[in-house]
């Protein structure tokens, strides 16, 4: 019997880089991340030649002292799918042909593309 490989999702520099414009758009659309103990976030290390991302785990002192103000949360693909549903429903509450409608459509496109590329555990099967 041929076995189908599966693996746990891992954030990479490439997937974080692709996530950044989505997170910026979600923020503009009114999404606020509510930090919890154990959440992961990324911070770009500008002192390295490659501008790599470093992933951290949030602890309570991070958000109490404002250490997460310029960081991007790194949710699971399942949460990103839930965010996509939220944005998708948002299209019905924005004014037609408005800048906000364009932002919603662009965000949906970015999120669907990200999920197609990074939201699979075996290269073809999307996460549930």
pLDDT for 52 equals: 82
Q: Which of 110, 114, 124 has the alpha carbon at shortest distance from 7?
A: 124
pLDDT averaged over 10-residue windows placed end to end, the chain, 128 residues: 81 92 95 90 76 84 74 91 95 90 96 88 45
pLDDT for 48 equals: 65
pLDDT for 6 equals: 74
Cα–Cα distance for residue pair 100/107, rounded to 1 Å: 10
pLDDT for 113 equals: 93
Cα–Cα distance for residue pair 97/12, rounded to 1 Å: 36
pTM above 0.85, yes or no: no
List the beta strands (DSSP E) in 1-128: 40-44, 53-57, 72-73
To 10 degrees, what angle do helices 77-90 and 99-118 make?
Answer: 150
List the beta strands (DSSP E) in 18-121: 40-44, 53-57, 72-73
- Measure the N-to-C terminal CA separation of the chain; round to a whole number of Å: 24
pLDDT for 30 equals: 93
Domain range summary for the chain, segments of one domain joined by +: 13-118
């Amino acid at each position: 019997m041929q076995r189908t490989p599966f693996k746990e999702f891992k954030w990479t520099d490439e997937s974080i880089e692709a996530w950044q414009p989505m997170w910026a758009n979600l923020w503009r659309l009114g999404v606020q991340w509510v930090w919890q103990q154990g959440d992961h976030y990324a911070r770009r290390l500008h002192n390295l030649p490659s501008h790599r991302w470093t992933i951290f785990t949030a602890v309570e002192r991070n958000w109490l002292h404002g250490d997460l103000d310029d960081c991007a949360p790194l949710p699971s693909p399942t949460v990103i799918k839930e965010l996509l549903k939220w944005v998708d429903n948002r299209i019905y509450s924005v004014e037609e042909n408005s800048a906000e409608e364009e932002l919603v459509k662009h965000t949906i496109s970015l999120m669907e593309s990200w999920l197609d590329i990074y939201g699979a555990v075996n290269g073809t099967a999307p996460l549930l």
